Chains A and B, each alone.
Chain A
Amino acid sequence: DTGVSQDPRHKITKRGQNVTFRCDPISEHNRLYWYRQTLGQGPEFLTYFQNEAQLEKSRLLSDRFSAERPKGSFSTLEIQRTEQGDSAMYLCASSLDLFSNEQFFGPGTRLTVL
């Protein structure tokens, strides 16, 4: 399978714990995006990377959130001191470059904070 992959698919954690999600984009895709989707809503943009450079961060991305793409390939999204409001689906997408119209989405990681 050569699509976007995300790991884990589901994560249940207790409030206050740290969690880390991984996203592997489609090979040779330069751009990588993170979105968050809560129940009954469309995805909301969090941040995106051009290769290893983080180009934009949403105001939704509080200081408890950090994202990295160290070698311009896979990316990680870490949430520190999780809160119940962090419960959501975290979606990763990738695109070939700036001029690509389509972002290819992964299956998502569903986070439940108890």
Chain B
Amino acid sequence: AQKITQTQPGMFVQEKEAVTLDCTYDTSDPSYGLFWYKQPSSGEMIFLIYQGSYDQQNATEGRYSLNFQKARKSANLVISASQLGDSAMYFCAMREGISDDKIIFGKGTRLHILP
């Protein structure tokens, strides 16, 4: 079974609009962490935001916020006021447990910001 599911292969959004990228996850471990990474066409993976499973509040980093719905096992990324530079691949990822350090990535969503 897929550990991380991103159901939107591609999205087109008008500049300055908000955009939500969907992510659902599957784990039986009560302790886990959720990540979002951005990968521009240049290829490097850029860390955006992190949410711990025990965190009470949704994580926010500037224009990025993570809509964490634990019961639904959902961790959607919200980008406010989108910019042309936001066009990239976005990956949702998870780290399970306390000591397991590997990150499991989803297949990604390609976001296109239209001028």
Interface size on B, residues (CB 8 A): 23
Q: Which of B13-21, B65-73, B77-85, B100-108 contacts A (4 or more CB under 8 A)?
A: B100-108
Contact in complex: B107, A103 (CB < 8 Å): no
- Flag if A103 contacts B47 (CB, 8 Å): yes
Known: A98-B99, A105-B45, A107-B42. A42 touches B105 (CB 8 A): yes
- A contact residues, range: 20 to 34
**In the complex, what residues of B have CB within 8 A of residue A65's CB?**
none
| Contact (Cβ within 8 A) B50 A56 | no
Minimal Cβ-Cβ distance residue in B for A45: B102
* A62 within 8 A of partner (CB): no
- Chain A residue contacts of B45, Cβ below 8 A: 43, 91, 93, 105
Q: List residues of chain A with CB under 8 Å of any chain B CB.
A: 31, 33, 40-45, 48, 55-56, 58, 89, 91, 93, 95, 98, 101-108, 110
| B contact set with A: CB distance below 8 Å | 4, 33, 35, 37, 42-47, 50, 52, 91, 93, 99, 101-108
